Structure 1
Amino acid sequence: MQPTPDAAREWIDTVRASAARGIGPATSNQTLAEYGNAHMQLARRGLEPKTTGPYLAGWRLRVIPALGHLPVTMVTNGAVDRTVYAWIADGEGRSTVKNSLAILVRVMEQALRDGLITVNPARVKGWQRQYQLAEDELDNPRALALRDWNALEQLAAALVARSHEQYTGWGDVVTFAACTAARIGEVSGARVRDIDRRNWIWTVRRQTTPSPGGLADKNTKGKVARRVPLIEEIRPMIARRLLMVGDNPDARLFTGPRGGRITTAVLRDATHWDELVRALGYKHLRRHDLRHTGLTWLADAGVPCTSCGRSPDTAPCRPPSATSTPTCRASSVPDGTSAPTSPGSVHLPRHRRPCPQPSGGCRKCTIHISGAVILVPSKTTADLRLFLSNRPHVVPRY
């Protein structure tokens, strides 16, 4: 029953318009909960299995209690807007609100395709501005990254000491993630064949992430493989791990103490991460902040921020250019500096010798990545044991 005659006439006109499009009164008067539950399979098509769970939780726990009693045709932009801001006022996190709103958008988009509505009212904007950044992040974005190489070594050693039977693999994972600005899932997905032992380049092709039914290997977040240079400080560790896993090209470079796959939750629990980082004075530090550390070191070394975001992160809007992907060709030193430096070199131990060709013309010892120059050895011996026992200098031996 409608509250006023005008509302009743408007409702009759709406029903007639729907009937003219072949939509019966029962369908046009369905509540949002009824319609969404009936058409959820269509609404969530194309979603990855990992995303389906959080979306359905948002639908069940937030969308239905707030808007499920309304007919689909009466879900307005104002109703959705007030609901979203009520979720924020209740203390729901940004990801929780985003997932709940995303599934509502999909359901209303299906209603739009079915002809029940003429515009999707769930596409609200500006709600994310209600979330304030952490105070440390506002005042100093570098507060979310480790200070330097010594701090990284201290963290890695402490994690190993705190783990069961002092498994050194946890320290290797942390060091590798910070020095390559990689996600933990990408580190877990690294295989022997992804490592170029001659030029010390890691080709990131996959990530290992939790999915319904267990862990699964999937594409990188940007759906595009990328090449990451491996700085000199971590090459002995990588060589040691390559020796440990043997000659199987599909073997994982990093695994747990019993050979299992690594996730951020496994790393947290095995090393008592939360307790340990608080004891070290890094109460803000999450596993993903190892990636922030690598990106911060790149920026401090002079790599443009746009290149830091393009090369290690999601796929660019256009195919990657030669300047955004590491290559093993000669390159000149930016701004005519006397000696090339590695990304993040301002945070690394200063024990490297200058290149004998300071002009940057040394074709054998430089890698170009978006304006920064990385030094690599001219060649790598086939026997990694020899490499470990006799570390090559940063410049080639002439």
Structure 2
Amino acid sequence: MTGRRRFGSIRKRDSGRYQVRYPGPDGQTRTAPETFARKSDAERYLSLIEVQMMRGEWVDPARAEVRLGEYAERWIEERPGLRPRTRELYSWLLGKHVAPYLGGVPLGKLDTPLVREWRSTLLHKGVSPSMAAKSYRLLRAVLMTAVKEDGILRVNPCRIPGADQESPEERPVLTLAQVFQLADAVPGRYRAFILVSTFGCLRWGEAIALQRQDIDPVRGTVRVRQAFTEQRGKGLVLGPPKSRAGLRTVTVPASILPAVRDHLVGSVPDDPDALVFTVPSGRPIWRGNFNKLVGWKATVTALGVPGLHFHDLRHTGNTLAARTGASLADLMARMGHDSSDAAIVYQHASAEADRKIADAINAELKAAAKKERKARKKKRPDAPDDGAAGALVPAS
């Protein structure tokens, strides 16, 4: 028995359930992916499909059957502009934290409760909040393409407030004295490496890719034109910096220039293309070997910052730059960021530090005011205590 309708058709199967069929925008007939126990449910489904088509919101159920794992792999392969290390990170996150749980799920079956359950499973299994946030952002980006570019989904199911936020532990910031103590503690060949990386706010790959032509020991400038990245199966690959904003020239403090000049004279060949910071053989420094070369763990432990990472030198330089009161644009230029987010974080930290200074001064003023009031009370016991303290602030 077939129901006659203006749009689509409903047929009662031998099982007693109702099957829905309807024409797609391309004229091809589609069958609903499931049958319905009641005819009224089938009619409501057809009405919904018709409205979606009229609004341009209809999604072909056949396209939504593609598995998330397959779709995400293609997304990573075909995504334009991804740097090799970013591509490697996305592939690792997909294989480690996304595909084992959601890889076999058709895109059309993904919904917010399922995404929420997946994220909760990651956290319960000991995945760090930071790594869970990275995985969530990858999944959201993949599914956003399915919504906006491919039209496979109507809405992105990644709609969990705060799931994309990382709360990394506070990284250490060295004092100026500690920076120079660290530079003096490592083998002499790497002293200038520590100083330039810190005060130039350089990333690891940028620092080890510097060539003699990039250093002006007279003007005190360091030009960042390229960076090394470690790629699986390829080793160190020389390419552009992390972003377009990474192409920059930074000025380092004059106080470290003697160390830079000594290093250029004693450890760098007189060739414009010669790498500035290398191992004794002249080859680039590998991140994994550097700790052993300089005895990093023992050195930073003796310095009083046992958890210090090399990247914290850039963090220290960024923090020192922010404390100068530099503008947001100037901080972005020095740090090599094309987004203001990171620079704003450093500006905020600098503002908080400035507030602490003001609060400390205010505490001293209040203590002095209290002392003065006591002195006045002692001289004139009958004088009213109105909280005034001459030129000092009141006690409140």
TM-score, normalized by length of structure 2?
0.64
Alpha carbons of structure 1 residues 317 and 103: separation in structure 2 relative to 1, 3 Å: closer
Match of 2:296 in 1: 273
Deviation at residue 199 of structure 1 after TM alignment: 1.8
Write the distance in 1 (CA, Å) between the matches of 2:41 and 2:226. 57
Structure 2 unpaired stretches of 5+: 1-32, 341-396
Give the aligned partner of residue 162 of structure 2: 126
- Aligned to 1:177, the other structure's residue is in SS state helix
> May I ask how many residue pairs the two structures share in their alignment?
299
1:206 counterpart residue number: 226
Following superposition of structure 1 onto structure 2, how do residues 168-207 of structure 1 map, counting pairs within 5 Å? Answer: 168-207=188-227
Task: Work out which of the residue numbers 191, 214, 219 in structure 1 matches 2:240.
Answer: 219
Q: Are residues 74 and 253 of structure 1, via their aligned partners in 2, closer, same or farther at CA, if it must alter by over 3 Å?
A: same
| 1:5 lines up with 2:32 in the alignment | no
Q: Structure 1 192/100 Cα, relative in aligned 2: closer, same or farther at 3 Å?
A: same
Task: State the partner residue of 1:350.
Answer: none
Is 2:99 the partner of 1:64? yes
2:332 matched to which residue of 1? 310
> Displacement, 1:45?
4.0
Structure 1 SS opposite 2:250:
strand
> Which residue in 2 is equivalent to 1:75?
110
Q: How does 1:131-150 map to 2 (within 5 A)?
A: 132-134=167-169, 137=170, 144-149=172-177
State yes or no: 1:234 paired with 2:251. no
CA distances 1:285-337 after superposition (whole Å, capped 9, x unpaired): 1101111222333344x33363663232234469xxxxxxxxxxxxxxxxxxx
Deviation at 1:188, TM superposition (A): 0.8
- Mean alpha-carbon deviation: is it higher for 120-129 or for 169-178? 120-129
Return the index of the structure with the highest Cα Rg.
2
Q: Which residue does the alignment assign to 1:88?
A: 123
Q: Which moved more, 1:101-110 or 1:264-273?
A: 101-110
- The separation in 1 between residues aligned to 2:226 and 2:202, in whole angstroms, is 11
**In 1, distance between residues paired with 2:205 and 2:77?**
30
Distance 2:168 2:59 in 1: 47
Where does residue 342 of structure 1 map in the other structure?
none
Separation of aligned partners in 1, 2:93 and 2:58: 32
Bigger relative CO (Cα 8 Å, ≥ 6 apart): 1
Which secondary structure does the structure 1 equivalent of 2:230 belong to?
Answer: strand
**RMSD of the alignment, in Å?**
3.5
Aligned-partner Cα distance in 1 for 2:330–2:198: 14
Partner of 1:362: none
Note if 1:53 corresponds to 2:102. no
Aligned counterparts of 1:128 and 1:46: Cα–Cα separation in 2: 22
**Contact 1:77–1:122 (Cα < 8 Å) also in 2:** yes
| SS, match of residue 47 in structure 1 | coil
Q: Which residue of 1 aligns with 2:79?
A: 44
Q: Which amino acid aligns with 1:49?
A: P
**Matching residue's letter, 2:172:** L
SS of the residue corresponding to residue 312 of structure 1 reads: helix
Shift of 1:255: 0.8
Report the Cα distance in structure 1 between the residues aligned to 2:298 and 2:328, rounded to whole angstroms: 35
**Residue 282 of structure 2 corresponds to which residue in structure 1?**
259
What is the letter of the counterpart of residue 229 of structure 2?
Answer: T
Is the deviation greater in 92-101 or in 173-182?
Answer: 92-101
Q: Any idea what the Cα deviations from partners look like across 1:336-369, whole Å, max 9, x if unmatched? A: xxxxxxxxxxxxxxxxxxxxxxxxxxxxxxxxxx
Q: Percent identity?
A: 26
Separation in 2 of the partners of 1:273 and 1:198? 31
Q: Cα offset for 1:35?
A: 4.2
SS for the counterpart of 1:208 is: strand
Q: Distance in 2 between matches of 1:52 and 1:42?
A: 8
8 Å CA contact retained: 1:170, 1:267: no
Note closer, same or farther for the CA distance 1:287–1:34 as it changes in structure 2 (3 Å cut).
closer
Structure 2 match to 1:165: none
- Using the alignment, how far apart are the partners of 1:14 and 1:313 within structure 2? 52
Does structure 1 conserve the Cα–Cα contact (< 8 Å) formed by 2:199 and 2:317?
yes
Q: Which amino acid aligns with 1:148?
A: L
Give the gaps of 5 or more residues in structure 1.
138-142, 161-167, 319-398
